[in-house]
Amino acid sequence: MIPRNIINLGVFELEKEISQAVIRRMPRYYRYLGELIDAGVERISSGDLSSRMNVTASQIRQDLNNFGGFGQQGYGYNVKYLYEEIGKILGLCERHSIIILGAGNLGQALANYVDFEKFGFAIIALFDVNPDLKGTKIRGIKIHMLEELDEFTRSHKVDIAALTLPKSKADTVASHLVSLGITAIWNFAHVDLELPDKNVIVENVHLSDSLMQLSYNIVKDKPYQRF
């Protein structure tokens, strides 16, 4: 039983903070390995994987070795084993319950997204202020009124709160969630949350930012009038 970012160096255990650059790539490895399993591939070398994924073999080996030696010299990696180990590293073997704050289009879209369950994420409730939605269900998941939130968090274990509400309400709701003991927020609101507790984990999905990046890449070579 060792924490997943502690590398055992014989007698010593050295805690290493793994860079977010590495973490960002792990789900992608996981995805490709899943596809290899579906394709019936049993083993793969870092070289093979690197040409499929357009990254260097060096990077793959370095990334994986942050967490341990999962391969075997002269053989490569067992696809299924590596897939499972990355799953464990990413916490996909544990069940994570999610509540969605804001049952608008995006909130409902997330609630309808079945694939999350495959990875251990279960959406257990939505919340909104719109009384028309009261009692409505999305794929069997109930939409509650926001005032029921406190009671709900007392009676249910909530691991993640997804924020799919207007940015004007995001900060207030987020702070309230933190006061209720929520420690992880998946933020779709178009703001950087300002939270009372620095230990809360926030993962942002800023769709407008993403679209602007796309836009930049479209226009970058076109001339523009600066002055």
Partner DNA sequence: TAGATTGTTAATCGATTAACAATC
Sort strands 137-138 and 141-145 into parallel, antiparallel or unpaired. antiparallel
Which range of residues in 36-44, 57-65, 124-132, 198-206 is near its own copies by CB under 8 A? Answer: 198-206
Picking from 199, 164, 192, 157, the residue whose alpha carbon sits closest to that of residue 178 is 199
53: which 2 tokens?
């994924």
If one asks whether residue 59 binds its own copies (CB under 8 A), the answer comes out as no
- Spell out, one character per residue from 81 to 100, where the chain touches its own copies: x when CB under 8 A holds, - when not: ----x--xxxxxxx-x----
- Spell out, one character per residue from 159 to 178, where the chain touches DNA: x when CB under 7 A holds, - when not: --------------------
62 to 81, contacts with its own copies by CB under 8 A?
Answer: 68
Determine the Cα–Cα distance for residues 188 and 146; give it in Å rounded to an integer: 18
If one asks whether residue 171 binds its own copies (CB under 8 A), the answer comes out as no
Determine the Cα–Cα distance for residues 223 and 197; give it in Å rounded to an integer: 45
Give the number of residues in contact with its own copies, rule: CB under 8 A: 70
Determine the Cα–Cα distance for residues 36 and 34; give it in Å rounded to an integer: 5
If one asks whether residue 114 binds its own copies (CB under 8 A), the answer comes out as no
* C-beta neighbour count of 39 within 10 angstroms: 8
If one asks whether residue 65 binds DNA (CB under 7 A), the answer comes out as yes
If one asks whether residue 59 binds DNA (CB under 7 A), the answer comes out as yes
What is the full DSSP assignment across 118-130? HTTEEEEEEEES-
- Spell out, one character per residue from 66 to 95, where the chain touches DNA: x when CB under 7 A holds, - when not: ---xxxxxxxxx------------------
Residue closer to its own copies (CB basis): 147 or 217: 217
Picking from 100, 144, 146, 148, the residue whose alpha carbon sits closest to that of residue 122 is 100
Which parts of this chain interact with DNA (CB under 7 A)?
19, 21-22, 44-47, 55-59, 61-62, 64-65, 69-77
